[in-house]
Amino acid sequence: MANKHRIIVALSIAILIISIATGCSNNIKRVNNQPVSKTEFVLGTVATIKIYDNASEEVFNKAFGKLREIDKKMSINIDNSEVIAINSNAGKDFVKVSDDTFYVIKRGKYFSQLSEGKFDISIGPLVKLWNIGTEYAKVPTEEEIENKKSLIDYNNVILNESEKSVMLKKEGMMLDLGGIAKGYGADEVVNILKENNIKHAIINLGGNIFAYGNKQDGTPWNIGVQDPNLSRGNHIGIVQASDQTVVTSGVYERYFEEDGKRYHHILDPYIGYPVENNLAGISIIARSSIDADSLSTAAFVLGLDKGIELIEKLDNADAIFITNDSKVYITSGLKGKFNLTNTNFELIE
Ligand code: ADP
Ligand code: MG
């Protein structure tokens, strides 16, 4: 018995030493330097994290756990989310929320102000009315649109900083964080990767990309810029990015057709209808994904000229604008960093 005991102790010590020597006990095995990758459906989209270092199962669990937590707090499609609680108390009461939700609403309100309400986190009543992306999508009546439009105003989203609580001033108002929550999710995944000593990774939350660190050889990542006319994964060109996010908003993904007309999911809060301008898509390149997500939606609604004006004004963001007639415009910070590869498009400089 004593001998057996000693063997067990010796074995345990050996395993412990091996674990310490290899850095971590449960690293996922990598083949030929390929990344380790996990995909889940979360935040209403397909989310993939690809890590190009030795990584443990635990890092992925933490990252996807955080994304699920954000979804549970901020979705308007999940009962009992904090955003649903705020919406059901509209016109009645403040609702205390988590730091995550408070931060996203605060940042969302900031970008609503910055874009003079072209991006507006209180767009909820119009989004619900149109139901784009669901089987109930239909063109509403003029009267319905007018009624809902009168409820949209980010100035009526009241934040109590010390209590971390939020109130919507008018009954019927609704927050919709669909244009910003994925960006926050990507930033939070980056924080988790940092804390876990990961150096090289690509996070892709349904086209909301974060190029974390560099490629393993130290050069920037090459990120494909979505072709707005084709399904996800078709590119018009390549942008170089390191520790930067590339976030795309466009007409290509969520839409429905009625009487031969296409209606997509980015709404102009001023008119109550899907945006119709000369833009097919926009990609924002920035350090912060929550900023890029809001800005991609904002710039899309603003249109080419005002959109470029807004992005040029900001220090930490650049953009690629793609028009319906296949012209591509880039902001000044991207000169030399964007390479148009699709000959159906023309780069205007
Ligand atoms: P995606 O969600 O496809 O990545 P966006 O980031 O552009 O695209 O966000 C679009 C979503 O944002 C819509 O599905 C809707 O929930 C919401 N939204 C639509 N129009 C606006 C707007 N003008 N301001 C703020 N949010 C919007
Ligand atoms: Mg967005």
Q: How far is the CA of 118 from the centre of ligand 2 (A)?
A: 12
- Is the distance from the beta carbon of residue 112 to the nearest atom of ligand 1 less than 6 Å? no
Segments of the chain with pLDDT less than 70: 1-25
For the stretch 198-214, pLDDT in tens is 999 999 999 899 999 99
Q: Are 126 and 270 in contact (CB under 8 A)?
A: no
Amino acid at 266: I
101 is in an annotated binding site: no
β-pairing verdict for 244-250 and 279-286: antiparallel
β-pairing verdict for 338-340 and 346-348: unpaired
- Is the distance from the beta carbon of residue 250 to the nearest atom of ligand 1 less than 6 Å? no
Q: Are 90 and 174 in contact (CB under 8 A)?
A: yes
- Is the distance from the beta carbon of residue 123 to the nearest atom of ligand 1 less than 6 Å? yes
Ligand 1 atom closest to 208 (CA): 4
- Position 16 scores a pLDDT of 47
Q: Are 14 and 165 in contact (CB under 8 A)?
A: no
Q: Are 82 and 97 in contact (CB under 8 A)?
A: yes
- Position 7 scores a pLDDT of 55
Phi then psi for 186, rounded to 5 degrees?
-60, -45
- Is the distance from the beta carbon of residue 127 to the nearest atom of ligand 1 less than 6 Å? yes
Residue 72: CB atoms within 10 Å: 13
Topology adopted by domain 75-168:
T-fold (1.10.3980)
Which residues on adjacent β-strands are paired with residue 283? 248, 320
179 is in an annotated binding site: yes
Which residues on adjacent β-strands are paired with residue 338? 239
- Position 29 scores a pLDDT of 84
Residue 90: CB atoms within 10 Å: 23
- Position 22 scores a pLDDT of 46
CA distances from 346 to 229, 299, 349 (A): 15, 20, 10
297 is in an annotated binding site: yes
Q: Are 125 and 173 in contact (CB under 8 A)?
A: yes
Q: Residues, the chain, total?
A: 349
Cα(154)–Cα(168) distance, integer angstroms: 9
- Is the distance from the beta carbon of residue 263 to the nearest atom of ligand 1 less than 6 Å? no
- Is the distance from the beta carbon of residue 253 to the nearest atom of ligand 1 less than 6 Å? yes
Nearest CA to ligand 1 atom 24: 119
Cα(60)–Cα(249) distance, integer angstroms: 26
Nearest ligand (C-alpha, residue 298): 1
Which of 118, 123, 264, 270 has the most ligand 1 atoms within 8 A of CB, as the residue to mutate?
123
- Is the distance from the beta carbon of residue 213 to the nearest atom of ligand 1 less than 6 Å? no
Residue 245: CB atoms within 10 Å: 30
Cα(276)–Cα(178) distance, integer angstroms: 20
Alpha carbon 20 to its chain centroid, in Å, reads 37
Ligand 1 atom closest to 119 (CA): 24
Nearest CA to ligand 1 atom 4: 249
For the stretch 216-239, pLDDT in tens is 999 999 999 999 888 878 899 999
| Residue whose token pair is 């590339």 | 246
Cα(126)–Cα(105) distance, integer angstroms: 18
Cα(61)–Cα(196) distance, integer angstroms: 12
